[in-house]
Structure 1
Amino acid sequence: MSYTYQDIAKMIDHSLLQPFLTTDELDAGIELAKTFDVASVCIMPYYLKRCAEMLDGTTVKASTTIGFPHGGHTTAIKAAEAQKAIDDGCEELDMVVNISKVLSGDWDYVQKDIAAVIDVAHAAGQKVKVIFENCYLENDHITKLCEICGEVKADWVKTSTGYGTGGATMEDLTLMRQSSPAEVQVKAAGGVRDFPTLLQVREIGVTRVGASRTAEILNQCRQELGMPTIEAKASSGGY
């Protein structure tokens, strides 16, 4: 097989974004992510500091959301959110574009809005994933956003929040990979719920996947590789 367990596990951002998750459930989700040694935990901003503390000493990164889920925050607030996230130990920030401005064709605003968050994160040596919410967009919007993200040096372009009317599609992921510079990675969110689908998006060139069915996906991977499965309480965290 052309992958190792670590190759697959380090594709997954374990999502803990549902507003009804209790602190006990958030802690359990973080522990699950540690057990499976995923890429990151994407958690609600208020719990980020605790998350970073729990992940200290592991290879799992703490991540959170900016301007989530609708992207309509002012640029100043998004930048302030980004700085607070950095202060709380965030290593990867998933920001939502201003969807209204994208649909209005105000590309100068959109570019400055994205750049404001990237500037804060990159100044601290951290990374940004830019969420498009493709379910509301046409292909021309997606292509233009990929171009802008290349210009402002985004680290990833990302399909969805998981809270729109649809998630990642193979067509959108292919378009995003083709429309982005090689140095900009692609993240799929919403719709990758099993191991075969993860392998499909990996073939397209996706390097990260937002998932809440992490235990299920990675235990399927372990079975395929002839490894023992891991018993873990699954958490329902979004995507």
Structure 2
Amino acid sequence: MTNSEILSRIDHTLLKAQASWEDIQKICAEAVEFKTASACIPPSFVKPAAETFKGLNVCTVLGFPLGYSLPVIKIREAELALKDGASELDMVINIGDVKNGHFDKVLEEIMLIKKTAGSKILKVIIETCYLTTDEKIRLCDIVTEAGADYIKTSTGLGPAGATLEDILLFKEHIGPKVRMKAAGGIRTREDMVKYLEAGCDRIGTSSAAVLITSN
């Protein structure tokens, strides 16, 4: 697998609270130059990034990183992000609803946001580090039923990130139209290849520089 092939599957990510416009411009310029799948950036930077970097596939986040904002807030975030020029949305589910067994609420929220997203890509972050195996399997079913485009392992800001075991579990339980994104703790070329070979369609990482500098 070549560096270019790997880069084409990477969401080049910068979601640090202290990120400046200068930092965001660097990430976006790299995403354009090295043809990454997208640049994943905070909502407040979507509009200037989309206006500055024509043709860039801009990804942003909803309910990030804890997921417990009300559905109406996430929907409004989605509406504004799309208006500002985002092409992809990565939403965080309400993990409290999962723990309370309110899977109907989780399903409804994802469905509403996918309706808002329309033809734009929606990725659903389930934050696997907080979940049991049974909860992960149930969420594979829910993400599939809701019509989301991707199931995503992690925010990268929880106590743990992606694992190959979770990707293999997803692979067994998601529907045929749902793709997988691994994120959190994926920092080496070797790890990126492992996740892609395991079936991931996307990788979220802030460590694409290991490929860029050797390209």
Residue 198 of structure 1 is matched in structure 2 by: 192
Counterpart selection for 1:168 from 162, 172, 192: 162
- For the pair 1:19 / 2:13, whether they are aligned, the reply is no
Residue 78 of structure 1 is matched in structure 2 by: 74
Deviations 1:13-61 (A, max 9, x none): 011100111111111121122221100011010110111123313xx41
Q: CA RMSD in A?
A: 1.2
Q: Verify the 8 A CA contact 2:4 2:34 in the aligned structure 1.
A: no
**Cα distance in structure 1, aligned partners of 2:3 and 2:15:** 25
Counterpart selection for 2:65 from 60, 66, 69: 69
Residue 151 of structure 1 is matched in structure 2 by: 145
The alignment-based identity, stated in percent, is: 38
Amino acid at match of 2:61: T
Structure 2: state its 5+ residue gaps: none
- For the pair 1:50 / 2:48, whether they are aligned, the reply is yes
**Cα distance in structure 2, aligned partners of 1:68 and 1:62:** 16
Deviations 1:140-169 (A, max 9, x none): 111111101111111000000011110000
**Cα distance in structure 2, aligned partners of 1:170 and 1:43:** 25
In the TM superposition, what is the alpha-carbon distance from 1:211 to its structure 2 partner?
0.7
Structure 1: state its 5+ residue gaps: 221-228, 230-239
Amino acid at match of 1:54: T
Amino acid at match of 1:44: P
Deviations 1:68-121 (A, max 9, x none): 100001011111110101101111000000000011110111101111111100
In the TM superposition, what is the alpha-carbon distance from 1:218 to its structure 2 partner?
4.3
Q: How does the TM-score come out when normalised to structure 1?
A: 0.87
Residue 102 of structure 2 is matched in structure 1 by: 106
Q: Verify the 8 A CA contact 1:111 1:152 in the aligned structure 2.
A: yes
Q: Which has the larger radius of gyration?
A: 1
**Cα distance in structure 1, aligned partners of 2:8 and 2:120:** 17
Q: Verify the 8 A CA contact 1:36 1:215 in the aligned structure 2.
A: no
Q: How does the TM-score come out when normalised to structure 2?
A: 0.96
Residue 237 of structure 1 is matched in structure 2 by: none
Residue 114 of structure 2 is matched in structure 1 by: 118
Residue 134 of structure 1 is matched in structure 2 by: 128
**Cα distance in structure 2, aligned partners of 1:189 and 1:139:** 18
SS in 2 for 1:95: strand
